[in-house]
Structure formats: C-alpha cells, structure tokens
Structure 1
Amino acid sequence: MEETDVQAQAEQTPIRFEIERPEDYSQYLLHSKAEIVAVLRALIERRALVSVYFNQGRSFLLTSVLNIDTASGYLILEGGREDTINSQALQADQLILTAAVDKVKVQFTLRHLAETRNAGHPAFRAELPDQVLRLQRREYFRLSTPVAKPVKFVATLRRADGSALVLEASLLDLSGGGVGLMATPSLAALLQRGAVLTDCKMTLPDEGLLVANLCVRNKFDVTTKSGSRYIRVGCEFISLPGVRMSMVQRYITRVERERKARISGMG
C-alpha cells in the first residue's frame, strides 16, 4: 500500500496505540535509559522503518532512526518525503512512533520534533523518550494442557438484556499471555472479538483456582482427523496480578517437566 493511501486511511480512522494504555501494557514498558537506548540502537542496526503518528493518530509519516546522542539526550530521525507532512509533524506537540524489530513491536512517544540536518540532508531531532514499549507476546511459552488432567474453564457472560449465561469449556493451551479455549460453534458465536470476560475460573491441577479477566482476541476453526469440528478461541489475560502469573508459570513449568521426563523414560 502506498504511503498516501495509508495516510488517507489513518485520517479516516484514528488509531489507538498500546503505549497509550499503560493500564493494560505496563509489563511491556521499559524505563531504564540503558534498555531504551539498546532498543533504539536496534532500530538503527536493523534499518527499521518507523511510522510517526500525530494529530491523534490521523496523520503520519515514514522515517527511520539515524543516530542517538546519549550525551546530549537526543535522537535523529530521517526527514519525511512530503514537505507539507513534515511541517505538520514539526507543529505537533506529541508524536507516537511505532516500528518492529525481529517481529517485536516497539512504540514510544516524543513530545515534539525540531528541524536539523544529518549528513547534509534534512532531518528531525527530538529528546530521547523516557519510556519505550517493547511488545513481544510470543515470548510466552504456550503449553498444550494435558488430556489426562484437563483444565476446565467457567465464566459468566452477560446477555444484552442483562441476564447471565454460564459458559463452560476446556483449555486447549495456556501461557503467561492468555488461554486457548476449545469451544463449540454455538459457544464461540457468543464470544465476539474484543469481548471482556470477568472473573473467569480455571482450576489448575496441583496449583489451585486461577481467577482472571480475559479479552477475546481471535477465533480459528479446527477440524480433527476424525472429522469433528471445534473452534479455538484465543483470549488474552487482562492485567493478571503477579501472584496469579506465578501460579500460571509454576503450573506450566511443572507440566512441561513431567512431560519431558515421560519422553525420556520412554527413550
């Protein structure tokens, strides 16, 4: 897609960025100057394409990080292609930059840009950000739950008329980021993308009851070799407290250790 086409789309649909939702993504925020500089240098080394959004996400330009001056506390960005957009960016009092490094999403906010030159070419200068979001959901190991000791999932869904519907399903998999539910087509139809499920209960064998809030993120049709069909509903944990996250990690570590021990014993 051409930059002008993406620009038009952005103007029509304001974008909401993860870094603007610290209540949901605080665990991915970096505050250490050393960590922030390391991420920015990775953008330089990978020659990563950076999108700069402003005007509440309705306008943007494409750039790249050219240099970092840790002594003065500034970074240098390549100038955009369109003079009009560059002028608008210079007038913005807040800009959100987003990029990807090795499939990891990176976001940070700059207060404003100033004109400068780099190697004789027009460029932008800005103060180093005081925090960077490094979003790598796939850093979580996904455990397929044991068939012999299934993990049951129970939640209450509120219908449009306010009545309650109790949902019951089995977990297909579990990670530090969320769960995968094994749902019938009729159950999956009730779980729309973006729906929030509160106080979901999952009993982890030998660990205890896990209570968590979840957000439905995706749904995939699955057909087994026998021809039966179900739908995997992927749900993300919402602000899971550290104590409950530790419970999840202990369960995953123990089950995976037991699985590896069984495989070694069979060999």
Structure 2
Amino acid sequence: MLPFLKKNPPAQPSAASALPVIEPIGADVDTRPFRVTDPHYIAMALQALADDGDLVCLHPSAGEPSLPGRITEVRPQAGQFVVEIEVKGARAPQPQPGSVLLVAMPLGIALQLRTSGHWADTLPGAPLQLVAALPDHIIHLQRRRFPRLETPLGQPFRAEFMLYGETFSMGVDDVSIGGLGLRASAHEGRLLMPSQQLRRVRVELGHGATPLVVDLEVRSRRAFRSFLAGEQLHFGCRFLDLTPADHGELQLRLDRLDAERTRAAPPRLG
C-alpha cells in the first residue's frame, strides 16, 4: 500500500467511504527541503493533478471528516483552483468554511498544501465544489535535495538485493550523495512501492569501484516505455544511514563520474 494511504474504517460509513483516505505527511518528516514557492511550478503541479484525474483528499481544520475529490480546474490568473468532492450515494455534508489541508499522491509521491476558499453554489444533488485559493507554497516530496549524475553506458552500475525471498538485480540510472535511481522491467519491479525499505543492497558503481552495501528507501515510482526494452519502471531511492566510509567512497565515485562526463562533453564553439 502506498505511503499515507489507507482505507476508511468500515465502522464509519459515509457518502464517500468507498474511496481511500490519503493521510497527511507525517509530522516526523522534515519537509523543508521539499518546500516549493515558485507560483508557476505550483500551478503546473495542480494542473497535472487535474489532467491526470488524481484523487485528492481534503482535511478540514475544524475536525470534520476528510473528503476525497478531484481538482477539476486551475485558474492561475484568478489565483484559484476548483476541487469537486467525490460523492457515492447521498450528497456529502458541507464542512464549515475555513482552511483545509489538501493531500495527493501523484505517482505515489506525496504532494501537500494548505488553502482556504468557499463552497460554490451548485444545483441540488450535484457534487460539492470548493473554489480554493492557490497556495503560496506546496510540499512535494519528489524534489531532490542533491543533484544526480546519470550513469554512463557500458559500465557495471547495478543494485542487487533480496526481497520476499527473491533476488533482484536492477540497473542504476543515476546516482547522488543522497540516493539512486533504479531501473527495472515492469515484471521485475512489480513488488517495489514507495515507502518500502530495501536492506543490504549491494551497489556496483562502475569499473574499479568498491561495491557499497547500503540500505535504501523507495521514494518514487514511475512507468515509462523504452523503444528497445518495452515497459520499464524507474524507482527513486534515498540512502538510509550511510556510514562515513561509504559516504566518502560515494563522494569519490561521484567526483570521478563528474570528471569523466566533463572530459566526454563536446568542446564548446566560439
């Protein structure tokens, strides 16, 4: 099950109880590196939620039950966006006006913001619509704290680990001092989900580099199609508790990769 995602308890049925509740990001998560204040990025992120029809969850501040819905419209010039509450059966109760926390999980990655707005006048029996103000910031856990370097072709960059009694070997697409990007076929990556922790992963970082044995946490998962390999999955992972020795070895390897990339770059004209 994805992080922050759990089913409503069956003992508390409601108009929208058939839909999942997306829980807010935990208070123990340091969200400062993932704070986004760029208005253009914010509008684009909300528009992507609308375009993809991603489920969002409204958590009213007054203590009313959470409400699942979808963003149906983003109005950057007006500084607004519209959330339509998903209704199954009877019309959902209208919460008291005030600030709400909105949480979504696009591609399994938490996106969270706080906003306020007003309930639009709708016809009887129609879903509720919240006309909300575009926030001055959002929290998007996908943003990276460290720059990542793409791994070169023709060298052994792989990660091997055990999971559920099976041995997995995945390609390393990119690497940073904070984590790795892993690549696998749709079948090979079927068991990996965001928030999952991988223990004692053996990571090869090219010719002549000492393999590292590290713990990883899967932070993101996205699908893409390769012309040669077909359906593929990319997993963004972060290191858990690197030892000083592993940190130093990783930094040396990153420095070598950066130097190799600089040497391989075509000369600039002019």
> TM-score, normalization: structure 1?
0.51
1:95 maps to which of 87, 95, 100: 100
Partner of 1:179: 181
Q: Is residue 204–residue 210 contact of structure 1 (8 Å, CA) maintained in 2?
A: no
Structure 1 residue 156 displacement after superposition = 0.3
Partner of 1:42: 39
1:144 maps to which of 125, 145, 150: 150
Instruction: Name the structure, 1 or 2, with higher relative contact order (CA <8 Å, separation 6+).
Output: 2
Give the distance between the partners of 1:152 and 1:221, measured in 2 at CA. 20
1:247–1:61 CA distance, 2 compared to 1 (3 A): same
Structure 1 residue 217 displacement after superposition = 1.6
1:190–1:151 CA distance, 2 compared to 1 (3 A): closer
> Quick check: which one's helix share is greater?
1
Structure 1 residue 248 displacement after superposition = 5.3
Structure 1 residue 258 displacement after superposition = 1.5
Q: Is residue 52–residue 95 contact of structure 1 (8 Å, CA) maintained in 2?
A: no
Give the distance between the partners of 1:81 and 1:263, measured in 2 at CA. 49
Structure 1 residue 60 displacement after superposition = 5.5
Partner of 1:233: 233
Give the distance between the partners of 1:150 and 1:29, measured in 2 at CA. 32
Partner of 1:263: 265
Partner of 2:67: 58
Give the distance between the partners of 2:84 and 2:227, measured in 1 at CA. 48
1:238–1:152 CA distance, 2 compared to 1 (3 A): closer
1:28 maps to which of 13, 29, 33: 33
Give the distance between the partners of 1:170 and 1:114, measured in 2 at CA. 46
Identity %: 15
- CA shift digits 1:34-77 (9 cap, x unpaired): xx8xx3x838x9699698812554245979999xxxxxxxxx98
Aligned 1:4-23 pairs, distance under 5 A: 12-16=18-22, 19-22=24-27
The one-letter amino acid of 1:191's match is R
Q: Is residue 198–residue 216 contact of structure 2 (8 Å, CA) maintained in 1?
A: yes
Which blocks of at least 5 consecutive residues in structure 2 are unaligned?
1-13, 48-55, 86-90, 105-109, 119-130
> TM-score, normalization: structure 2?
0.50
1:46–1:78 CA distance, 2 compared to 1 (3 A): closer
Give the distance between the partners of 2:74 and 2:260, measured in 1 at CA. 47
The one-letter amino acid of 2:214's match is V
Structure 1 residue 202 displacement after superposition = 0.7
SS for the counterpart of 1:88 is coil
Structure 1 residue 22 displacement after superposition = 4.9
CA RMSD across the alignment: 5.4
Q: Is residue 224–residue 231 contact of structure 2 (8 Å, CA) maintained in 1?
A: yes
Query: Is residue 224 of structure 2 the alignment partner of residue 217 of structure 1?
Result: no
Give the distance between the partners of 1:48 and 1:231, measured in 2 at CA. 25
Which blocks of at least 5 consecutive residues in structure 1 are unaligned?
1-7, 31-35, 67-75, 100-104, 116-122, 159-163
Give the distance between the partners of 1:223 and 1:203, measured in 2 at CA. 26
Query: Is residue 161 of structure 2 the alignment partner of residue 155 of structure 1?
Result: yes
Q: Is residue 157–residue 167 contact of structure 1 (8 Å, CA) maintained in 2?
A: yes
Query: Is residue 170 of structure 2 the alignment partner of residue 169 of structure 1?
Result: yes
